[in-house]
Homo-oligomer: A and B are copies of this chain.
Amino acid sequence: MPRKPEYDRNELIDRARDLFWKRGWAGTSLKNLEAVLQMKPGSFYAAFGSKDALFELALDKYAKDGLLRLKTLADELGPIKALQRFPEMAISNDAAPAKACMLSKTVLELHAHAHPLAARANAHLLKMEAQFADLFQQAQSAGTIDKSLDPKALGRRYQSDLLGLRVSAEREGVDAKAIAAEIAESLSRL
């Protein structure tokens, strides 16, 4: 009996993610969203409920895709080579809405306001960090890196470096690829 929506929900979330990623939470107005999603307010609220709810969907998708990309890379290249390649990949996609990480941007923008989306973004970052640590541990098991190192500490440091790289890549006049290469190189010394 029902009428079907004229849009592909999944694709709308992608477009919203790109907009939020680029412009941030406060920087993205409903007018912006209506324009990009080609939706009138009524449809928007019927479909997503609120700006925050859509941001959450976009954030979750962003995080899920990031994790998947890392795992795929690790399956292809093995743990250490994946970790070496990942930073350069993160900043080299010119089609991406921004170089900086959407999760860290969200934490920085909303943490001071105690907004739940900041906590959610941080939770995603923690999952990512755990994945980095897991890859370091795999590398240890495979004998690729020094076994006396703490994989959790390595993951924590790696993520921090990656976040710094991606902030730097967002800036004008910074050779971020050189930084990415240095991060990769330093992993060979473990």
Residues of A at the B interface (CB closer than 8 Å) are: 22-24, 26-27, 97-98, 100, 104-105, 107-109, 111-113, 119, 122, 125-126, 129, 153, 156-157, 159-165, 167-168, 170-175, 178-179, 182
CA distance A156 to B171 in the complex (A): 12
Q: Chain A's interface: helix, strand, loop or mixed, by majority?
A: helix
Let me know if B167 and A160 touch, CB within 8 A: yes
17 contacts between A and B (CB under 8 A): A24-B26, A27-B109, A27-B112, A97-B112, A100-B108, A108-B109, A108-B170, A109-B109, A126-B173, A156-B168, A156-B174, A157-B179, A160-B165, A160-B174, A160-B179, A161-B164, A164-B167
A34 to chain B minimum Cβ distance, whole angstroms, is 18
In the complex, what residues of B have CB within 8 A of residue A171's CB?
107, 111, 122, 125
So how many copies of this chain end up in the complex? 2
In the assembled complex, which residues on chain B have CB atoms less than 8 Å from the CB atom of A170? Answer: 107-108, 111
Q: How far is the CB of A17 from chain B (nearest CB, A)?
A: 14
A119 CA to B173 CA in the complex, in Å?
11
